Chain A
């Protein structure tokens, strides 16, 4: 047994108190926008302009949440459905295709693997604004080639996900490398091919990493604004993020109680996921950020 490390422990209780005080102040600051959002979302229209503002809404008006579901320019149900459809297709595609590619990078020795892996990592650094114009023309061209519309549909948003995402491939590869090779050798002797090893041996063991990948690709879709803005055209196809922006520009900056209620609706799934899967989030960020 090693002795308990003395380092890092704070011996002076006043120092600990000072750190607590500092962190509490910072946390209040970080939480303030959330509290203000929640508070405004429960106010009446008149009370949103009240001076001095009150944190506890009085009278409180939870009906705002009903109103945003029936508002003529904010189709909450439809936008949620659209976002979920895109999310399911994206999460399924990213997870499956990235697992296959990651297996190739992690477990098969071949010439040029190192270079290809380097190229793949470099693509993480290409910002979307740089490729958005040519991608737009490519999807227009794909429309001509395949005889069906791509622009103005969900396809440009989810089809690319089925060809692996660099971030997910990297994360899964790092995880696959930690799975003992003996296990796959045993399966090979039992007559498993590479695909069999991937699906019967590696993937069942890689569930935590698959969860990270699924969670992150869901978050990307849920939070994405630019790609839907570029590719979607008709309001009935809008995602929640796009719908909320459209709602805001349609009603202008006055019904803050409704805008905040809609914002709460948009962040609620994300916040819920975070509290359910906090460890998964942290693992994902640290693997890709540190072990790279």
Chain B
């Protein structure tokens, strides 16, 4: 390193210092600690006891824990519903909101709004909408001659949560909309002159240009859907009969209800590995379908 390089290095480090410290204390160390705890018997007890190394025992015990499999299955079921639904609905909405018609500013604002409001408030109002007896949704179903649905019952709760998540896709819609502005006009024009219909233009021009945005939303969607906790925590408390008991819920309960920090850390690590693996698969597959223009 030359004198100047060294000087710049120290200058750079000085500016980065807050983040470097924060990263170490609030991200890197917690992740390492979490890994260590996951191999320990560690309970928050009074008087305090240090974590006791027990090797793979937590993981072994997890394999025989029916709640582990139940919560994992529930989470996968939810992701399999909410992720594709959210991706399709937000893309469809973005295409509609991109049409050159009057009043789009109002439509866009309305569709964006639900994504802003606190989870606690949306959970509250949807509980009320989903109420079996007095809820608005069952009333509307009755209007069109359908029988009432137990929206938050054992069968219905999971699709109901996915439906709610579709209500909150506003910021994904905005990201798609911004992406749509970057699709070159000349290409769309050329395609039209060549006789391509609206559908053809969508699939052959617009969507290929949008693939980097679709990819971004896919990755964020995987991570978001896997870490869902607030809404079911408030609305269903994991029930009925553990039907909405998510992986994160299992983690939370073990940690803060039963104070089994070691066991909870093992759960957190499995979540991290699954999320990373899925993100990895997404990145790997990106080579085949994402076009960077």
Contacts and interface: CB of A to CB of B under 8 A. Distances in A.
Contacts of B227: 127-130
Interface stretch (B21-29, B56-64, B77-85): B21-29
B199 interface: no
Contacts of B136: 32, 36, 53
A103 interface: yes
A23 interface: yes
B71 to A, nearest CB: 12
B156 interface: no
Q: Chain A interface mostly helix, strand, loop or mixed?
A: helix
Interface string A97-112: 1001101110011111
A103 B134 contact: no
Contact of A33 (B11, B27, B122, B182): B122
Interface in A260-290: 260, 262-263, 266-267, 270-271, 274-275, 278, 281-282, 285-286, 289-290
B119 A101 contact: no
Contact of A263 (B96, B124, B188, B223): B124
B150 interface: no
Interface string B85-105: 000000001001111110100
Interface in A190-228: 194, 219, 222-223, 225-226
A51 B131 CA distance: 13
Contact of A119 (B23, B103, B110, B271): B23
Nearest to A128: B227
A286 to B, nearest CB: 4
A221 B58 CA distance: 34
Interface string A128-147: 11111111111010000000
Query: Size range of the interface on A?
Result: 35 or more
Interface string A150-185: 000000000010111010010000000000000000
A134 B29 contact: yes
A5 interface: yes
B67 interface: no
B128 interface: yes
Contacts of B111: 26-27, 30
Given A7-B185, A103-B15, A108-B11, A286 B23 contact: no
Contacts of A236: none
A9 interface: yes
A218 to B, nearest CB: 11
A116 B255 contact: no
Interface stretch (A14-22, A58-66, A70-78, A84-92): A14-22
A226 B229 contact: yes
Interface in B175-227: 175, 178-179, 182, 185, 188-189, 192, 213, 216-217, 219, 223, 226-227
Contact of A163 (B19, B31, B269): B19
Contacts of B118: 222-223, 225, 240-241, 266-267, 270
Between B14, B18, B227, B269, the greatest number of chain A beta carbons within 10 A of the residue's beta carbon is seen for: B18
Contacts of B264: 133
A194 B14 CA distance: 11
A148 interface: no
A136 B99 CA distance: 48
A116 B27 CA distance: 14
Contacts of A135: 26, 30
